[in-house]
Amino acid sequence: MDASRPLGYWLKLVDSLISEQFTVSLEEHGVTRRQWQLLNVLAKGPASGGELTAALAPFFGEPPAEGEPTSPSEHLTELVESGWVQEEGHNFMLTERGATSLDRLTSIVDTMREESSAGVSAEDYATTVRSLRRMALNLGWEDPAAKAP
């Protein structure tokens, strides 16, 4: 019976379970999922507030967890206040403390990912990701990486 459920059902269910797991696991360490995402963007190098907002735009279409800030700037403010991110001019960057914290959080997230994909072969996982990407493109999504010079 479950196999007859449509793709949208499984996508929404898995997405909500991932969000719930992130909330529980990261909350224990004083960060939100969106802050985790901001830290990952900043791990690639300094970025402006606008660049960070653009990078996280897909995630701000989702309702935030209860009590969670609703805009990227609110999340950034908390990261700056915690000493994990610093602002210089109009750019934000990870501090040493933020990079160390991100390393610890990455280990936690890697474990969550391993647990969620247990029993799924690397080949099946890659096929699923490629298929979902293709569906997104078919539905009008434009890959920002494809536009990069």
Mean pLDDT by 10 residues, the chain (149 residues): 83 91 87 90 93 81 61 85 93 96 94 93 95 94 72
Q: What is the model's pLDDT at position 144?
A: 72
Q: What is the model's pLDDT at position 63?
A: 57
Whole-model pTM: value is: 0.75
Token pair listed for 43: 């791990």
Q: What is the model's pLDDT at position 24?
A: 87
Strand partners, 91: 48, 88
| Non-local CB neighbours of 101 within 8 Å, separated by 6+ positions | 29, 31, 39, 84
The pairs formed by 102-106 with CB atoms below 8 angstroms and a separation of 24 or more are: 102/39, 102/40, 102/43, 104/29, 105/26, 105/29, 105/31, 105/36, 105/39
Q: What is the model's pLDDT at position 105?
A: 94
Q: What is the model's pLDDT at position 148?
A: 56
Q: What is the model's pLDDT at position 2?
A: 64
84 closest CA partner among 50, 39, 46: 39
Q: What's the residue count for the chain?
A: 149
Q: What is the model's pLDDT at position 139?
A: 94
Q: Output the CA torsion sign for 57, 61, 65, 67.
A: positive
pLDDT in tens, 112-133: 999 999 999 999 999 999 999 9
Q: What is the model's pLDDT at position 41?
A: 93
Q: What is the model's pLDDT at position 68?
A: 63
Determine how many CB atoms are found less than 10 A away from the CB of residue 32: 21
Q: What is the model's pLDDT at position 29?
A: 86
